[in-house]
Each structure stands twice: as structure tokens, then as C-alpha cells.
Structure 1
Amino acid sequence: MVTNHKIVQFPMGQTVLTRGVNDLIAEDAAFAKLVTESLVRHATGDWGDLSEEDKEENDLSLKEGLRLLSAYETEGLPKIWIITEADRSVTTVLFPEEY
């Protein structure tokens, strides 16, 4: 599958949102756009606003079939995390404080 001319790197399974993320999506179009764009970035192996060490760990986790974590921030909007489980059955969008 190709998304925005980038190749999806792994199956994301079912996408779920925490209540907090879901509620803010319903209220804020800019936040909804951030979540949508971040899911595409996550699926294509763009790990977002992580340290280089954490990005390298994700690259290894992608090859080894381990859990993947991305973080995305946009000025004026809350930071989100996206976590795909090791078995690729579920991808969760959440606020860091909801972890």
C-alpha cells in the first residue's frame, strides 16, 4: 500500500483512540488533522518527535516484530503518542498522560 507516495511499512491492525483523543477530535478540526496525518506518518515509518536513539529502536523493532511507538507534536496542540502492538493487531492513539 502507498500513502502520500510513501510505502506503508507494517500492518497497523485495528486503530483505536482513547476517550480523551476521541473527544478532542470531535471538538477541534486542527487536532483531527494532526491525528490523521500522524497515523500516516507512523504507518510509513516516520516516527515523529522522538530522539534519534528511540527512532533507531523503532527501526529495529520494525524488523524484529516488536512494539512501535511514535510521538507527534504541533504548536498549539497536545502531543500524541501512537503505539502499534508487537503482533500488529491494534494501533492506539493516546495522550502521553493516558499511558
Structure 2
Amino acid sequence: MQTNDTHSSVRFKTGRPTVTPAATAALELAKVPDILVLARHIHGDWGDLGERDCLQNELAVLLELRIVSRYVLLTGSVIQVVTEADRSATTILVCDDY
């Protein structure tokens, strides 16, 4: 999993962070700390999203809408990070959980 230094500061509040059991297992298998995935998300590195979805996230940060990032691990697992519009919670999950 590569990192992109898109922004150097936290872009939005996460609320309560949660990691699903499947995401924990996938991240452990790939040897990627969940805190790294969360850090990329809150700093505006949206991961493996297309340009349109990245622009939608930029708008979501400004308008306090739901924000979704997507990261493909070296093992092939796909992790999503979802911050709710009200910023009450951020969930790290495997796409199959969603």
C-alpha cells in the first residue's frame, strides 16, 4: 500500500473510529497498521479512487457530507474508510462488509 502526501494536516473530525473484525484481519495479513489507513483518510489521501470520487470527497469535506476512501492492500484486499456526514464515527471495513 503506497501513501500519497496529499495534505499535511487533518482535514476533518473522525468521531469514534471503529475497525470491523474482517478489516482487522485483512490489515494484519497485509502488515498495515489500521492507524496508517485512518491517517491517510483524515489527511485527504483518498487512496484508490477515481478523479470524480476524489472531487466528491473534497466537496464532502467542505459541506460536511459522508467521506469514503478506498485502499487496495498488497494482498489484494480492498479496505474502505467511511466517515459519517455528522462526523460522529469513522469505520474501517473490507468492501465485502459494506
1:19 positional shift = 2.1
- 1:54 aligns with 53
1:77 positional shift = 4.5
Looking at secondary structure, tell me which structure has more helix per residue.
1
- 2:17 aligns with 15
Bigger radius of gyration, 1 or 2? 1
Q: Deviation digits for residues 6-53 of structure 1, max 9, x if unmatched?
A: 10000101001112123x16853704x2x3211101000111100000
Query: Helix, strand or coil: the match of 2:31?
Result: helix
Q: Normalised by the size of structure 2, how large is the TM-score?
A: 0.84
Count of residue correspondences: 93
Matched, 1:42 2:37: no
Q: Partner amino acid for 1:76?
A: T
CA RMSD of aligned residues (A): 2.1
Query: Helix, strand or coil: the match of 2:92?
Result: strand
List alignment gaps of at least 5 residues for structure 1.
none
Q: Normalised by the size of structure 1, how large is the TM-score?
A: 0.83
Query: Matched residues in 1 for 2:16 and 2:63: separation?
Result: 20
Query: Matched residues in 2 for 1:30 and 1:15: separation?
Result: 19
- What is the percentage of aligned positions where both structures have the same residue? 38
